[in-house]
Structure 1
Amino acid sequence: MANESLGLISCSGCNGDAHIKRKKTGKKLLYLHCKNCGLDQRSGKLLQERWQQAIDGGAALPPEREKSSLINEKSNNNLNEWEPEDGNSNSDNEKSNKDDSGRSGGGFKALAGLGIAAAVILGFGAR
């Protein structure tokens, strides 16, 4: 036996009519049934409120409010989430390889220079 339709709302997938129904088991959440798109069983707070308002005869929440509320919820929930650095900053490795003059790789270049100088001196001294 199918659950009874509690109201109609525009389907976000095809813009056709979708019936709002309530689950009979579990949390008794609302869901949509569109004859073109099938079931929409999302359980998010904002969607459940929107579907309940449509049943109660009130206008559904405007999309602007939904988006701004979702953005605020996501930004509060993901405070410790990694974010990419901008392209202008140097990585930690590049910063640690710089000498006092701001040039990178100074230590390696100096060591290589000393090695070449020693080889040249030893090479000429062996004659």
Structure 2
Amino acid sequence: MKKTNPDIVGKMRCDTCSSEMEVRQRSNGKKLLYTYCPKCKMDQRSGEAIQAFWRQNMVAPDAELAALVPEPAPTKPNPTETNTKADTENQLADWVPPENLQPDQEQDETKSSKLGWWIGGGVCLVLAAFGVRASMN
């Protein structure tokens, strides 16, 4: 049930959307913290690590949050250091797998065909045995 005036104990930046979110405290039970972000909504995780993180990183409800520091833009790679698509295709074309990884098709076919004959023969014997018993009754 939604509480009309929750116990707001602090605020911090949302890790997901960088909005200002409230850190609230439950009014019953263990008095666990939870967060409310206007965009991402509520986070009620109760693990010790996240509870400690919220307690250590929140600021007072009336305090100003630090301004977001923009992350530096990714630098463009040096064209001499990057591989082109043609280079990659040439490297793949030159690569040969070790011989022990290459399939031996003739050996696989003979093994599977022999196994098939054994299974087929076993099924025929079982059917023949049941057929003899059924005719005796």
Q: TM-score, normalised by structure 1?
A: 0.42
Report 1 or 2 for greater relative contact order, CA contacts < 8 Å, sequence distance ≥ 6. 2
Higher radius of gyration, 1 or 2: 2
Q: TM-score, normalised by structure 2?
A: 0.40
